[in-house]
Chain A
Amino acid sequence: MANLRDIKKRITSVTSTKQITRTMEMVATAKIRRATDRVVAATPYSDAMMRMLNNLAANAAEGSHPLLATHAEKKHVLFVVVASDRGLAGAFNTNVLHAAEKQASKYTEQGVAVDYILCGKKAIGYFSYRGVAPSMSFAGLSADPTIDEARRIASFAREGYANGGYDEVTVFYNHARNAADQDLRVEQVLPVVVSADKAEAEEGPQTSFEFEPSEAEVLGSLLPAYVVTTIYHALIDSASAEQGARRKAMKSATDNASDIIKTLQRQYNRARQGAITTEISEIVGGAAALKKEE
């Protein structure tokens, strides 16, 4: 029976797909750990930096430093879009890319030019298909972002902003809420927004620090480092989110494959049983016919 063979073939094919998705799931699970470790390793620095910046917040009046000053007119903005190098991670890439594109078309309508820094092959592919030439692009680093990559982006953005070439720098990335869920985050990197709320939210009385050489100078050198930290954090957070998203996507793919295999196996058994029943009844019928002739 041809049908029987077709079903068998499909079962084989779905089984091998399942094997692949299950392997990818396991690989992603292993990588989540590494990515989370990296976020944890980077936390002491960014926490200490936030604390210092908040201590300086009182002095951080707008315009006291070029990176704090909001430009009067918004004519040229820079988007840093952090996506991944590989697909098969559910809506991970589409979320970020659509958000960036939507924001860009809004700006374009207002006559604001948009430049891009793209991280990840998926982002590069998506935007180059739409005829966008990025100012900078990074491929092959999405799973293991380096501080060097963050420095390159940060120094480009910082120079661009200080020269007046860009009036705003925004980063689009996925935040790993936990190992399974991701949130899209859109953060303004420049001009730097120092929120006094955060300082207030911190528990306990604030220690008053002596600053050397002076508060303004400490602030001046802290801000560029803060930009690097923000971007680096976005990159590693996104890398962690990517593995989480992939694991989730691959888990549901594996589950679906299992369901399909079950259904196909049932169909196969039914078809096989049907064939046997037909054969038996044919034999019985044939035997009965022979007996009558005797």
Chain B
Amino acid sequence: MADNLSCTVVTPAQTVFAGEATYVGLPGELGGFGVMKGHEPFVSTLTAGVVNIKPVEGGKDVRYIVAGGYAQVDDNAIIVLADNAVDLSKVDVQAIKAELEQVEESLKGIPEGDASRAYYLDQKNWLNLQLGSVSAAE
């Protein structure tokens, strides 16, 4: 059995992170929690927040902003199923602000109660979350 926790962060589109970690901090729905090796089999929903991974090799923590999702811990392996995930150190604030404006623009054109509004509202939340996480980290 591995001495460390194998950690995988996946989004519907791709695998974002895969590697060994000594500790993974997660934004659980009932509050943040951390997972180390030997954790019990466990499933939790995640809220929007930051996943903090301490790599085995040491060095800086790897941090991902996730827009909610799930974490499944089983047999010293943790799988984070994120609805959307982005590396905190790679967020481009300018690009996000521009995108946010576009989303606002599109929202104006759609009447209240229209089912297609849901997508833009989700998008808006996600963009705002990225901005918020970046400014909190600074």
Contact = CB atoms under 8 A, between A and B. Distances in A.
A274 to B, nearest CB: 64
Contacts of B29: 212-213, 217
Interface stretch (A40-48, A61-69, A119-127, A186-194): A40-48
Interface in A129-163: 136, 146-148, 150-152, 155-156, 158-160, 163
Nearest to A136: B116
A207 interface: yes
B79 A48 contact: yes
Contacts of A229: 12
Contacts of B118: 155-156, 158-159
Given A151-B122, A155-B122, A44 B8 contact: yes
Given A208-B41, A210-B41, A147 B13 contact: yes
B30 A42 contact: no
Contact of A44 (B10, B43, B74, B116): B10
A207 B45 contact: no
Interface string B8-31: 101111110000000000001110
Contacts of A260: none
Given A156-B119, A208-B41, A212-B28, A44 B15 contact: yes
A159 B115 contact: yes
B45 A155 contact: no
Interface in B33-57: 40-45
A200 to B, nearest CB: 18
Contacts of B119: 148, 151-152, 155-156
Given A49-B81, A151-B119, A155-B119, A212 B45 contact: yes
A46 B81 CA distance: 9
Contacts, number: 102
A45 B12 contact: yes
B39 to A, nearest CB: 10
Interface stretch (B65-73, B90-98, B127-135): B65-73
B45 A41 contact: no
B13 A48 contact: no
Interface string A204-216: 0001111111000
A222 interface: yes
A228 interface: yes
Nearest to B30: A213
A225 B69 contact: yes
A191 B5 CA distance: 37
A147 B12 contact: yes
Contacts of B68: 221
Given A52-B70, A152-B119, A228 B12 contact: yes
Interface of A: 38, 41-42, 44-46, 48-49, 51-52, 55, 136, 146-148, 150-152, 155-156, 158-160, 163, 165, 207-213, 217-218, 221-222, 225, 228-229, 232
Please list the 8 inter-chain residue pairs (A to B) with the smallest Cβ-Cβ separation, ordered nearest first: A155-B118, A212-B44, A159-B115, A45-B10, A152-B119, A41-B14, A210-B42, A207-B41
Given A45-B10, A160-B115, A209-B43, 4 more contacts: A155-B115, A207-B41, A207-B74, A221-B45
14 contacts: A44-B10, A44-B15, A136-B116, A147-B13, A148-B119, A155-B115, A156-B119, A212-B44, A213-B45, A218-B44, A218-B70, A225-B69, A225-B81, A228-B12
